[in-house]
Structure 1
Amino acid sequence: MRLGGYSIKSVLGVVALIIGVIWTWEQTRTINQPDGQLAPKMPIQSPMKTSDPKIIRKGDWSIMPLQNYSIRARVLSRKRYRNDGSSDISPIDFALGWGPMSDNVNLDGISIKQRHRWFFIGDVRSDQIADMHFAANTHIIPADEDIRRSVLAVREGHVIEAEGYLVECIQGNNPPWRSSLSRTDTGDGACEVFYVNSIKLFDGDDLGSDKEPEVEQPAPNIVSRRQLPSMEESQPVVEVPTNEVVEEIPIEDRLKISAINRRGAIINGDFCRIGRPVSSVDGVYLAAIEGETVQFETEDGETFSIEFEIDL
């Protein structure tokens, strides 16, 4: 059978193509939002509670919560990942903005792109530079299949409210994938790795009373992780009377090991490779790892070992 010279099969194929294009556009179109700061408050990060999980298993991944985390933010961009080394637990990244970076006025004219688990902001005016620190690239790890469906439904422009943990993830002998615990750092390691337990989506039609009152936020003081405060900014020096004996903390007690693999270990929150100095304790090197025994050596040539144990 033919319609106007075209076969039914051809007509149905065109209809299916049109429906597919419309569906794809609907799923990926940007959400238009009203002016104003839609998420004026900073994300909230707080210490873990004793009732919180110590370790979460997902396939061959071990996920260790570092801090509780909740955020209300505008989705500036989204990037789906399917075939990289962590896409099995983190299928999508969000570039999130809060404070001035959730306001149309500050977003007009700038470009935001994501690739290779990074995000890039371009076309920034000089008066917008301070605002860039109110945005973060966030690797999303859904807690379960329902959360996964919700995060994959998020579109650019949505305002989200999400709660969960900032985490560190380890898979086999690969280097750990650790979340930043600062909102003001930049460069490699500055992204948040966010294990999401709950998420809510808002668009321009349903912000309503959920839109928070706009709050003036000062630009954060950007300090490199390696930069020390000046004498004026540092805490007052407390002198110890010479007649008091100050008990030195043993080196072993100053080394907290949270994970190990064949390349190195996470010591006091930083990854240290075998043969390298421990960044947080002067004069100590990570010498070797044999099984669950972590061996250290001091500058004086003394050696000692610590047995690694996971506190479940």
Structure 2
Amino acid sequence: MFDEGTKIAVFAIVMAAWVFGLSADKHAPFPDLATAVELSQLPALPLTAAPDGSPAQARVSGQRVALSAGFEAKLLASYVIEGRVVTRRTFRHDPTSAVSPLDLGIVWGDLAAPGGTDDIAFRTGHRMIWFSNAPDADLPKTWKDQVTNNHLIPANPQVNDALMAIEVGARVRLRGYLVTVTGDGISPWRSSTRRDDGSIVGGCEIIMVTDVQVLSEDATAA
């Protein structure tokens, strides 16, 4: 067992390594995105989110799609999410950054309305989002289900450029597919397919994005 002095030293070393890793990830160049999916071969997608503002999702056949760097995506569901971006974090060094260089935290429904998140604080962890509400916040009963962390896999470099241009505060519509990603050196990386399983480990959406739109404040579902 460690004595207290050793525990403090070990903790300091771990924290220093974590901070160094964050700094290195921030300043290192992005890997080239070589993924170029043939979109015409993919299942049809909804044009917008559901009428109540929730993501539109429908099961698809399990088609497998080759990504870059030896990765492969298995399609689980077609998916369209519309909402407001509350967190943004880029990745360069983790095992899947070659195909998924960006996470966006997005809120939808009531939370996406102007002022809808004024009483909620958000921050990012590694491939996760943390959030907490003010004690006196007046929020919808199921507000936590309207917070999503999204690991984004651009289907091609053009989609990648559009995603990388998105800033916190933007209202967006992302269309694509929830997927399971496989490849050398990783366990199967499987998307959540439910809204009520949290947005930390195992509760995030992994989206192969095929279309990106930045919406005006008065945009409504078609």
Contact (CA 8 Å) 1:40, 1:100: kept in 2 or not?
no
Quote the residue 1:59 is aligned against: 69
**Correspondence for 1:174:** 186
CA RMSD of aligned residues (A): 2.1
Q: What residue is the counterpart of 1:194 in the other structure?
A: 207
Instruction: Output the CA distance in 2 between the equivalents of 1:110 and 1:173.
Output: 37
Which among 73, 81, 84 is matched to residue 74 of structure 1?
Answer: 84
Once the two structures are TM-superposed, the CA of residue 63 in structure 1 deviates from its matched residue by: 1.1
Instruction: Find out whether 1:97 has 2:110 as its counterpart.
Output: no
Map of 2:163 onto structure 1: 151
Give yes or no for contact 2:88–2:102 (8 Å, CA) kept in 1: yes
Amino acid aligned to 1:57: L
Is residue 67–residue 99 contact of structure 2 (8 Å, CA) maintained in 1?
no
Q: Which TM-score applies when normalising by structure 1?
A: 0.50
> Which of 128, 134, 143 is residue 118 of structure 1 equivalent to?
128
Aligned to 2:38: none
| Alignment equivalent of 1:106, drawn from 83, 96, 116 | 116
- Counterpart residue identity of residue 208, structure 2: Y
- Alpha-carbon deviation of 1:72? 1.1
Counterpart in the other structure of 2:154: 142
TM-score, normalization: structure 2? Answer: 0.70
Match of 2:94 among 55, 60, 84: 84
Select the structure of larger CA radius of gyration. 1
The whole-number CA distance in structure 1 between the counterparts of 2:159 and 2:65 is 19
Matches for 1:1-312 after TM superposition, within 5 Å: 41-48=53-60, 53-125=63-135, 127-128=138-139, 130-186=142-198, 187-202=200-215, 206-208=216-218, 210-212=219-221
**Percent of residue pairs bearing the same amino acid type:** 25
Q: Give the AA of the match of 1:145.
A: P
- How far has the Cα of 1:56 moved from its partner? 2.5
Give, in angstroms, the shift of residue 60 of structure 1.
1.1
CA distance in 2, matches of 1:182, 1:105: 25
1:125-172 deviations in Å (ceiling 9; x for gaps): 364363121111000000000000000000111111111110000111
